[in-house]
Structure 1
Amino acid sequence: MDRRTFLATVPAAAIAAPLLAETMPPTHWPAGEDRFLRPDVQTGDRPVGASFASRTAAYGLSGAAGTAHPLATLAGIEILKKGGSAVDAAIAINACLGFLEPTACGIGGDCYAMLWDPKAKQVMGLAGSGASPRALSLETVRARAKNGVLPPLGAISVSVPGTVDAWGMLHARYGKLKWAELFEPAIDLAEHGAPVPDIIAYYIRRSLAAFRKPGTGIEETENALRTYALGGDGPKAGGVFRNPDLARTYRLIARGGRDAYYKGEIAKTIDAYFRRIGGWLSAADLAAHKGEWITPYKTDYRDIGVHALGANTQGIATLQMLNILEHFDTTGAGFQSARSIHLQVEAKRLAYEDRARYYADPHFAQVPAEWLVSKDYAAERAKLIRPDRINPAVRPGQAPSKGDTTYFTCADSDGMMVSMIQSNFRGMGSGLVADGLGFMFQDRGQLFALQDGHPNIYAPGKRPFQTIIPGFATMGDQPWMSFGVMGGDMQPQGQTQIIVNRRDYGLEIQAAGDSPRWHHEGSSQAMGEDGPNLPATGLLRLESGVPEATRKVLADMGWTIGASDGGFGRYECIEHRMDGKDRVYAAASEMRADGCALAY
C-alpha cells in the first residue's frame, strides 16, 4: 500500500497531529553555523549534468536576465516584457540593486558595460568611471596615507560617481522605454520595502560594524547608520528593509535625468555635505563628469573571441592570462587537476605583474595595452612557466619604449546582450551618505598609487585604477556569452576560469560557474589589495570542492594553500544559441550569492 492509499484509509483526526508536525518549519540555524560546515557532506545528486552543478540554466526565446538578487532579476524581466531593450532592463536592474544590494553597488559608485549591438553586429564598450576631486592634492593624499596606501574609508577615498551618467549614455543610444519608467520598480521597492537575503544581510551588518570602529577616519557615520542600521546592527536575514531617502533621490533622477544628479538638486546636496564634513568632492567635480564610449580589446582564445575593456580597468588581464594559457594543453591537463590549476595560476602571476606596473587612466599615462594583449608578448611570457614547478620570481615585462561589486546581464528579443558591472568598491563604500540621499559614496580612490613615476599615481581630476570589468565572448561573427565574475582582483582570475571551464572542459554555463574555484593572492601590488606577510609566491586559496589529490600535488609543487574564505567571486551569465532559426538564451546564476537567473 503506497502512502497516498494509506492516508485515504485513516481517519482525519488520527493523522492531523503527524501532518501538522510535518508542515511546521524546522528550527532555523544561523547561516554559517559551524555544525553544517562539513567537508564530508556534499550536494545532492542531480540526475543529469555535472555532479557539482547546483541547478540547470534557465532557457528562453525572448529574453533573459541574471542578477545577484531575485527581485532585481524579476524587475529586468518585467521591463523586457513591456517592450524595453536589454539596456532598459539593465538600468532598471541596476537601480533596484542599488536598494536591494547596497553592499555591492549604488549610485555612489562607478559603472562599466559591454554590449552586443545587433544592428552594428559588434561589441560596444562604455566606461562610466569618475575622477578624483580637483581640490584634493597629492600632498594631502600622501599626508593621509597609511603604510603607503590611501585609507579605505572617509572622504579621502571618494571619487566622482559615474553610474547615473553611464545610465544616461546607454539609454540615449539604446533605450526604448521612457527614462522615468525604468525607475518605477526600484522606487516601489525602496518605498514599500523588501526582505533582505542572508548574504546581503551578513555583509551590511559586517560593514556597519567596521564603520563603528574607532580610528576609521570616517568624518561622520550618523547618516549611514540612520539609512542602513535600522536602529540596531543592521537588517537580519529575512528582515524587511526600506529606504525612503533613496526612493526620493530616484524620483528626482526619473524626472530630471542624469543632470538632476550632476547639476541639479542632488549635486547641490552632495556639494553641501562634503563642505560640511570637510571633504573635497564638489558640485564642480560632478558637473565636469562625462563617461566615454570605448572600443573593447579582443583576443582569440583558441576558436572563440574574448573581449575586455581597457581604459582604467584591469580588463585586459583576462586577455593576457588567456593568451598565455593558449600555449598549453589545458584540456589534456584534466579538469580540476593540479597541472591545470598550476598553469592558470602561473599565467595569473605573470599578467598581474603587468597589471601592477602598467594599468592606469590612459588620459594621464601611456598604457601599452596593444603590446600587453599581443600574441607575441604572450609567447614570451609563456616561456617563463614550468609545468611541474613554480617560477620563484616573476616580474613585469619590459614595455617597448614609446571587491565589492555587483554584476548583472540581460538580453532582449532583438538579440542585444548587455554585460554590466557596477560597484562602490570595498565593502559598502566610503562609509559616507549625503544628507537625505539614501546612498553611499564609493571608496574607489583607495586604488591610486602614491609612488613617484607610477602611471597610476594620484592626481586631481584623474580616474583611479578600476577592478570592475564586464566580460563578453563571441563565436565567429555572433555573440556567445555575456558574463562576469564580481570581486576585486578575483575578476580576471574568475573570468579566465569560466572561459577555460566552458571552452576547454565543455562545461555548460551553470556548471562552469558552480565548479570549484581558485584565487591567488600576492602578486606585485600598487594598490594595497593583498594582506601583509604573504609568501614570496603568494597564497593560493582553493574552494572546498577541489579534490584532495589535487591539493596535495599543488602543495608538493611548492604552493602555499590557503583556506577557503568566500573570496571567489560571484558569477552571472547569458549564453546566446541558435536552434535552427530560433534564438535561444540560456541564463546561469551564482550559487555563492543570493541571486537568480530567469528567461522567458
Structure 2
Amino acid sequence: MHNAMPQSYRYMVTSPHYLASQVGSGILQQGGNAVDASVAISAALAVVYPHMTGLGGDSFFMIYSAKEGKVAGLNGSGRAAAAAHPGLFLQGGASRMPDRGVQSALTVPGMVDAWWEAWSAYGSGRLAWADLLKPALRYAEDGMPISRNLHAWMVRDEKLLRANPALHGLYFESSTDTLKPEGAKLTQPMLAKSLRAIMAGGRDAFYNGALMKAIVEAVRRDGGFLAEQDFAAHRSEWVEPLTTAYRGLIVCQMPPNSQGFALLMMLNMLEKIELSRIPRHSAAFYHLMAEVVKRAFRYRDQHLTDPAFHEIPLDELLSDDTAEALVRDILGSTSSQANGFTSVPSGQDTAYAAVVDEEGNAVSFIQSLYYDFGSAYVAGETGIILQNRGSYFSLEETHPNVLAPGKRTFHTLMPGMALKEGKPFLLMGTQGGEGQPQTQLSIITGIVDYGCTIQEAIALPRWVYGRTWGEDCDRLRLENRNLGNAAERLKKCGHQVEIVAEWDGIMGQAQGIRLGEGGILSGAADPRGDGLAIGG
C-alpha cells in the first residue's frame, strides 16, 4: 500500500477520489485559481463519492489568499429548523436524536451556499459559475464507475439502500435486485437535474427557488421539520481561524462549532514534551497520544456547540496554563496507566481535499453527510441525500449541545492548515469523526517531529481513540503494522486495545499538501482510500 508522492512547482491537487482530483487539475489548467478548483472538486465529490458527501451536506473552507497574505475560514454548516426542539422527540419517548430517516435531517444543508460564498469572494473571475459544476453534472448524467470505497460501503449499508426507493433504484441491478458491482456504471439522473438548476440559478436555486421547494415539500410530506424559511434564512459565515504555535509553525483551525480547537489543545500539550525522543511505533508513543487526546476531548465534549448559544472559554482552553496543567497530569505518578474517559459517539464519514495554485493561493476544505449516506433519506425526486448532522444534537436540557431552533450542532469537520513564516506550509485533513484531530496530529508530528514527507506521514501506522454509534466503550484502535509488543504493553496500562487491519478504513482517508523550500509542492493521498494527488 504505497502511493507515489507527486511534486511540482506550479500547482497541486489532492482529494479522496481520483476523478475529483482530475476535475480540480482541469479547472486550474483552464485558468481557474485554487478556489475555483476547490468548488469544482467539492461538486464532483458530491457526485462520485455519494456515501461521504453530497448537495444535502455541509462544508468548511480554509482559504489562504496570496494577494491578501492571510487566512480566512468559511463555516458552511447548516442550522436546525425553526420548528426543531427536544420536545418533538421526548414526547414520543425517545432518549436521543434519531440516527437516520427524515427526522434526523433537520439541519439546513450548507454546502451549496459555501461554494457560492467562496467563489464570489475569492474566485479568479476567469471562469463562470456554471463551468465549475459542469464536470459534476457530466458524472451525474453520463455516469461514473463505482469505486472500491463506495462499493465497500454499499455492501455494508445494503439494508439502508434497499429501504429507500430512490437509493434502491440507483444501487441495485434491476434484473437481479442485487447490488451493482465495483466498476459498474452509476448514473444519477435526478441529481443531475438538481445540479442543472444550481448551475442556472446559483445558490438561490437551492435556498429560495423551485429546487428548495421540492426538497421542503418532500420533507414535509414524509414527516420532517425543515421549512421554506429555514432555507431562505441560511447564510454561511466568514470566521477568523484559531491558531497555536507548534515548533516554529502556526497551526490554523476553524473555530466552534468545529472541533478544531481540540487539535490545538493537543499540540499545546505536546509542545512541552520532547516527542522526537519517543520512538514513533512504541507503546510509549501510543499511550501518550491516547492520554493527550482524552484530555482534549474531555474539554471539547464539555463545551463544543454553536457559540451563539453557549459561551466557550477558548482563551482558557488554549492557554499555556491549561497545557501545563494537563501535561503535569499526564506525566504524574500514574503516567503509565490509562486515564478513564467516555467520549461522545460520532459519525466517521467525510471527504477532505486541498488545492494550491500557481499564484500561491491555498484551499483546505472538507465536506460531509455525517454518517455514511447521511440520513439515508432522499428528498423526493431531487436525487439529494440529506445529511443527518442534526442527530448529533442532545435532548438533555442542560447539555451545551442541546437541540434548539436555528442552532448549529457540534461539528466534527475541521480542515487544517499550518503556516511557516506567514505562508502555507502544510494543508491536511481526513475523513472520520473522532479520528479527524487524531489523524491531523499524526500527520503534523510525523512531519515536524519524525522528519517524514507528507506521503510518509499519511502512510504512518495510525491510531484512533474513541467510539462510533452503537459501541459501549472507548477503544484505542491500532493498525497492525510495526507494533511488536506495543499492544500488550498498552493493555497492561489499562487501554481497551483493538488491533485492526494493516490499512484499515476505520482510520479514515487523509490527504495533504506540503509546500517546501524553493516553492516545491508535494502532494499525498491516503492509500486507504480512492484518492489521488496531481501536480502540474
TM-score (norm 2): 0.94
For the pair 1:374 / 2:327, whether they are aligned, the reply is no
Structure 1 Cα separation of the partners of residues 33 and 93 of structure 2: 44
Distance in 2 between residues matched to 1:180 and 1:482, nearest whole Å: 27
Matches for 1:75-474 after TM superposition, within 5 Å: 75-143=23-91, 146=94, 148-158=95-105, 159-176=107-124, 177-212=127-162, 221-231=164-174, 232-386=177-331, 388-393=335-340, 403-474=348-419
Tell me how far 1:211 sits from its aligned partner: 4.8
Corresponding pairs, count: 522
Asked whether the 8 Å contact 1:208–1:229 carries over to 2, the reply is: no
2:10–2:358 CA contact under 8 A, matched in 1: yes
Aligned to 1:549, which of 470, 481, 485?
Answer: 485
1:486 aligns with 2:434: no
Name stretches of at least 5 consecutive residues in structure 2 with no aligned partner: none
SS in 2 for 1:383: helix
d(CA) in 1 for partners of 2:40, 2:524: 19
Query: Would the alpha carbon gap of residues 145 and 420 (structure 1) be closer, same or farther in structure 2, given more than 3 Å must change?
Result: farther
Structure 1 spans left out of the alignment, 5+ residues: 1-42, 44-53, 214-220, 397-402, 523-528
Give the match for residue 30 of structure 1. Answer: none
Report Cα offsets for 1:59-99 as digits up to 9, x if no partner: 11221111111111001000000010111111111111111
User: What is the root-mean-square deviation of aligned Cα atoms in Å?
Assistant: 1.7
Structure 1: which amino acid aligns with 2:172?
A: A
| 1:588 counterpart letter in structure 2 | A
Query: 2:365 is aligned with what amino acid?
Result: M
Matches within 5 A, 1:450-599: 450-521=395-466, 529=468, 531-534=470-473, 538-564=474-500, 566-579=505-518, 583-599=519-535
Identity of aligned pairs, percent?
34
Q: Which has the bigger relative contact order, CA under 8 A and spacing at least 6?
A: 2
Query: What's the CA shift for 1:259?
Result: 0.2
| Contact residue 305 and residue 401 of structure 2 kept, 8 A | yes
1:169 is paired with a residue of what secondary structure? helix
Describe the SS at the equivalent of 1:422. Answer: strand
Distance 1:275 1:143 in 2: 19
Amino acid aligned to 1:369: L
What is the rounded CA distance, in whole Å, between the counterparts of 1:212 and 1:204 in structure 2? 10
User: 1:70 aligned to 2, 18, 24, which one?
Assistant: 18
Q: Distance in 2 between matches of 1:301 and 1:97?
A: 32
Q: Work out the CA distance in 1 between the residues paired with 2:342 and 2:222.
A: 43
Judged with a 3 Å threshold, the aligned counterparts in structure 2 of structure 1 residues 196 and 145 are, in CA distance, closer, same or farther, namely farther
Q: Is the 8 A contact 2:338 2:495 kept in 1?
A: no
- Partner SS for 1:384: helix
SS at match of 1:563: strand
Cα deviation, residue 558, structure 1: 2.3
Q: 1:476: Cα distance to partner?
A: 1.8
Change (3 A) 1:143 1:563: farther
TM-score calculated relative to the size of structure 1: 0.84
2:53 alignment partner, SS class: coil
SS in structure 2 opposite 1:320? helix
Measure the CA separation in 2 of the matches of 1:531 and 1:352.
19
Deviation at 1:374, TM superposition (A): 1.7
| Residues 205, 233 of structure 1: 8 Å contact kept | no
CA offset digits 1:449-495 (Å, max 9, x no partner): 12222211111111111111101111121210111021111101111
Could you tell me which amino acid in structure 2 is paired with residue 568 of structure 1? M
Residue 145 of structure 1: CA displacement?
6.7
Q: Matches of 1:268 and 1:395 in 2, distance apart?
A: 42
Residues 106 and 354 of structure 1: CA distance in aligned 2, closer, same or farther (over 3 Å):
same
1: CA distance, partners of 2:17 / 2:147: 8
Rg larger for: 1
Matches of 1:295 and 1:135, distance apart in 2: 30
Partner deviation per Cα, 1:295-331 (whole Å, 9 max, x = no partner)? 0000001211111111211111110111111121210
